[in-house]
Structure 1
Amino acid sequence: MKLPVIRHLQKNNDQVKLEHTLEVLESFCDHRSVSDEEMDVVGELISNICGALEVQKMIDKGMAERDAANTFMQKVMGSIDR
């Protein structure tokens, strides 16, 4: 996950567009001819899109944009430490 990418996605796309993109990427991954390398790239894309959606949800609940991004990354880092 890359916070600058997450912020860019969150600022420049609406929720519906991001959700549709997720559906397409997940469908792509279901095909049997997708290589491990392609799966890694798509996984990174999916995680960034999910991060953008999560940050947007926090902003929609009233959290400042910067605080939402920092809170999200703290959650990610906390889950990695476990």
Structure 2
Amino acid sequence: MKLPVIKTIQRSCTPEQIETALGVLEAITEAPSLKEPEIDVIGELISNLCGALEVHEMIADGMSEKDAGNAFMKKVLGSIDR
């Protein structure tokens, strides 16, 4: 996950657009001809899209964009440290 990518997605897409993109990417992962590196890239895209959705939610709940991004990354790093 990359915070700059998440911020770019969050700023330029609505939650509905992000959800549509997630659906498309998830459907693509079912293609039998995909190679492991391609699946890894799609997984990274899905992670960034999910992060953007979470940041959208935090902002909708009243948090500033900066605080929402920082809170999301702290959550991610906290889950890695466990």
- For Structure 1 versus Structure 2, the TM-score category normalised by the shorter chain is over 0.9
Alpha-carbon distance between aligned partners in 2 of 1:4 and 1:57, rounded to the nearest angstrom: 17
> Would you say how many aligned residue pairs link Structure 1 and Structure 2?
82
Matches for 1:11-30 after TM superposition, within 5 Å: 11-30=11-30
> What stretches of structure 2 of length at least 5 have no aligned partner?
none
Instruction: Give the superposed CA RMSD.
Output: 0.5
User: Match of 2:50?
Assistant: 50
TM-score, with normalisation over the residues of structure 1? 0.98
> What stretches of structure 1 of length at least 5 have no aligned partner?
none
- Say yes or no: does 1:7 pair with 2:37: no
Displacement of 1:14 in angstroms is: 0.6
Name segments (4+ residues, structure 1) moved above 4 Å.
Answer: none
Q: Percent identity?
A: 55
User: Match of 1:61?
Assistant: 61
TM-score, with normalisation over the residues of structure 2? 0.98
| Partner amino acid, structure 2, of 1:56 | H
